[in-house]
Structure 1
Amino acid sequence: MKNSIITYLLGFFFLITCFKSIANTYDNRDSASCLQVDGKITNANEGEDGFCTIELMSSNRVITSAILKGGKKTFKFLLGRDVTYTIRISKPGYLPRLVCIDTKMDQTEEELYNFSFETKLLSERESTKLNKEYLDFPIALIYYDNKKDCFVYDKSYTSKIKKEIVMK
């Protein structure tokens, strides 16, 4: 009798843990998808390991990731509405790159927008000549522009960050 009660309680707690885990997985999917991001890392298969890791993050938490290997250089993420995301691109022997994306929109339409970008990772050897203070900043800020009715990147910010990185 005691064994069956213990087994029943363990099973009950296991089910609660499973449901809680499933609920945590879907907590960022409550808003409709609004943006498909396509990225290309031009030197993804260079270096000793020949692979590159792409992580989609929100609230300092990795939501999903992709590993580019075997000559693959592109990735794709589907993003939800009204969420701030960070894409972290990393590769052994290279400096990580960050791209920030804000999907806050005034639009109520269920339209799916597209945004594509291309970047190159800098090797750690090249970083000795660079301004280390700015290497941790995102290289691009992407947001929805109401006037243009599309997602754009802040060109002045990207230009400024690139200039600051090369100034030492």
Structure 2
Amino acid sequence: MNTSTTPLKVLADGTEVPATDPRTDHVAILFPDTGWMVARDALTNADGEAHANADAVDADARQLHLLGFNDWFNAPLDEVWLRHVLKHDRYAPAVDTNLFPDLPTDDWYWTGTAAPWSSGSAFSVLLLGGGVGFLRRDSSGFGLACRRARQ
């Protein structure tokens, strides 16, 4: 595994370029130090709006076919969101907008991490300030698809 800690932008043809590359036509971001790949765009409904609930986000992630892979799932809180996506030195949105240039900020993002105290709840992230909380899974929200790219 590559031990670099610098993310790479992955273009639609699979080409990897440094995160510092000014292009924003990439479709995913690869984090070589952990092997996680995260889709650049939010999981949304057909109208580009938040999904009705967490189950719809999870299903959308599982149906994603990107870069020739179909093993995508909704990003977990600790391994992906807290380690790679959220940037607490940024606000509105609390992400690196060079890596994630167009993420909507008008609703929560569901993580793939269930709340251990309630089967009907899961952890969620608000990009306007980088807050992490939990909501009932029947609430609306976006998601981010990810996969293990290198192990």
Structure with the largest fraction of strand: 1
Structure of greater relative contact order (alpha carbons < 8 Å, 6+ residues apart): 2
For the pair shown, the structure with the greater C-alpha radius of gyration is: 1
Structure with the largest fraction of helix: 1
